[in-house]
Amino acid sequence: MSSQPDGYTAFSTVDEAPGVLVLHAWWGLNKDVRDYCDALAQAGFNAFAPDFYQGQVVTTVEAAEAAGDALDHQQATQRLVTAADWLAGKTGERHSGVAAVGFSLGAFLALGVSINHADLLHSVISYYAARPDDYGSARARYLAHMAQSDAFATEAEIDAWQDVLAAAGRSLALHRYPQTGHWFAEPSRPDAYQPAAAELAWQRTLSFLRSGQAD
């Protein structure tokens, strides 16, 4: 068994609990992400959040933009691949892969891994992020929580993403949340956080995770 990658672990006390990766946004592995992992563990999942920033956590948009710009996406993708492989080994899911919940940057990375390392992820839940790409080799099913108004994910981008997923025969359950913007599900962003929408997205995520794996 390979050693545990850098990150945050919250494992369930339930026997044979399935694995879920939780992938942080450009803020880093902050309390929102750790709390999300803890909630997943309470709900009967083994959660692991890899740390793409290696300990750095930022709180302002300016600092987050700088951190995101400085991130080596190839290196971050490799960390995600390593984390998925490690978690699947811990949960006995090497044959199927694990699920991934990503927030913004983390969701974008997860969508890429679902294409280029299709055996590692059976399900991807995206908060705020769309990624039009070639999903012909993907095996995952997809759930998306999209804000009503979001400069980081335009209507044209979302439409294009839906089109390419449909062309590849991949399932997408897409939900738009009225009167929300980017970061609506993150309590640490009081300017954007919408508790009712966040709770609805959480319940939909649990239902999706519990509804089974893709082919």
Q: Is residue 61 part of a domain?
A: yes
Q: Is residue 1 part of a domain?
A: no
Q: Is residue 215 part of a domain?
A: no
pLDDT by residue (tens digit) across 63-106? 999 999 999 999 999 999 999 999 999 999 999 999 999 999 99
d(CA 153, CA 61): 17
Q: Is residue 168 part of a domain?
A: yes
Domain that residue 180 falls in: 7-210
Predicted confidence at residue 2, as pLDDT, reads: 72
pLDDT by residue (tens digit) across 112-151? 999 999 999 999 999 999 999 999 999 999 999 999 999 9
d(CA 34, CA 24): 9
Q: Tell me, what CATH number does 121's domain have?
A: 3.40.50.1820
Q: Is residue 202 part of a domain?
A: yes
Predicted confidence at residue 1, as pLDDT, reads: 54
| Structural domains counted in the chain | 1
pLDDT by residue (tens digit) across 146-185? 999 999 999 999 999 999 999 999 999 999 999 999 999 9
Q: Is residue 2 part of a domain?
A: no
User: In 10 A of CB 113, how many CB atoms?
Assistant: 25
Q: Is residue 166 part of a domain?
A: yes
Q: Is residue 18 part of a domain?
A: yes
Exposure b/e, 34-71, CB count within 10 A at least 16 = b: bebbebbbebebbbbbbbbbeeebbeeeeebeebbeeb
How far, CA to CA in Å, does 194 sit from each of 30, 187, 197? 18, 8, 6
Q: Read out DSSP for the chain?
A: -PPPPSEEEE--SSTTPPEEEEE--TT-S-HHHHHHHHHHHHTT-EEEEE-TTTT----SHHHHHHHHHH--HHHHHHHHHHHHHHHHHHHT-TTT-EEEEEETHHHHHHHHHHHHTGGGEEEEEEES----S--TT---EEEEEEEEE-TTS-HHHHHHHHHHHHHTT--EEEEEEEEEETTTT-TT-TTT--HHHHHHHHHHHHHHHHT----
Residue that has been written with the tokens 């890429």 in this structure: 112
CB of 155 within 8 A of CB of 130?
no
The number of angstroms, rounded, from the C-alpha of 166 to the middle of its chain's C-alpha atoms is: 20
